Amino acid sequence: MRLSLEHIVPIPLKDKINEYNSRVWNQQLTFNSGERVFIQAPSGTGKTTLVHFLYGLRKDYEGKIHWSAFKMHEINREQLSQLRASSVSVIFQDMRLFPELTTWENIEVKRRLTNTVSEYDAEKWLDKLGVKHKADSPASKLSYGEQQRVAIVRALVQPFEWLIMDEPFSHLDYANRQRAIALIDEVATMNRAGLLLADLDDNDYFTYSRKLLL
């Protein structure tokens, strides 16, 4: 699946865009399937805004975003849900777990949507990230670090061609981050999926094909 950005300009940041010297805003960009892209975004430059545009959560922008045949400015709600369920997965900066569900229920509510990943794999991945023992704990009782690891596993229990990540390791220590990176790399490779990671500082978590400044 190819991702194209055609001169995207967020309307709230329209007046400030020219000051940034951005390599993303108001640019013509095409990301081929399987690419690994890092977007470095200093605070206040619209990193989360971009993730939300790409995932179809916000539409207050000028320009066009295409996920292959899906045109985000024309997409209907059913097509959007289809795109999210089977092509584009996301790890939100603020995790967005269901606080009233347990860790395992949070994973299952996503895994059951497509039934493409076995519960064995899901359980194994939770174990790899060290949160299997929290399977029956309500998400609201988990620490930020634990919530972030559950959110990472949840993003992986669906078929995807692109994984969008917004500061995905912000609450993880070095060891946990390395385990998370290894798991994401493994599953993305298995899916032959592209990665798009947005973060504040430059990093080499993955072997990026492109690094862009927002």
Partner 1 sequence: MKPLKQSRLVQKLLLRHRSNNRLWAALIALFAGTTLLLIAVMIWWNFNLILSGTHDNDSLGSTFLTIGKQVTDQSMGKKGASLFTPKEISTIENAPQVQDVGMLVSNRFPVYASLSVANGFSTDMFLEAVPDRFMDKQPNGWSWEEGNTQVPIILSSDFLNLYNYGFALSQNLPQLSQTTIQALAFDITIGRGLYTEQYTGRVVGFSDRISSVLVPESFIEHGNKTFAPNAPIAPSRLILKVKDPSDKRFAEFLQMNSYTTNTEQLRWNKMRGVVDAVATGTGLLALLLMGIGTLVFILFIELTIAKAEASLSLLLQMGYSPRYLGMFMLRRFVPLIVITLMASAIIALILQEVIAAKGKALNVTLPDLPGWPVWVTLAASAGVLLAFVCRSIFRAIK
Half-sphere exposure of 67 (CA within 13 A, CB side): 24
The answer to whether residue 213 forms part of the interface with partner 1 (CB under 8 A) is no
Compute the distance between CA of residue 13 and CA of residue 136 in angstroms, rounded to an integer: 43
Q: Residues touching partner 1: how many (CB under 8 A)?
A: 26
Site string for partner 1, 73-112 (x = CB under 8 A): ----xx--xxxxxx---x-----x-x-xx--xx--xxx-x
| Minimum distance from residue 91 beta carbon to partner 1 (Å) | 12
Q: Are 98 and 137 in contact (CB under 8 A)?
A: no
Compute the distance between CA of residue 20 and CA of residue 125 in angstroms, rounded to an integer: 39
Which of 50, 31, 45 is CA-nearest to residue 210? 31
Per CB under 8 A, contacts with partner 1 among 47-66 are 55, 57
Nearer to partner 1, 29 or 101 (CB): 101
Per CB under 8 A, contacts with partner 1 among 112-151 are 112-113, 119, 123, 135
Nearer to partner 1, 112 or 210 (CB): 112
| Minimum distance from residue 85 beta carbon to partner 1 (Å) | 3
Sign of torsion, CA 101 104 105 109?
positive
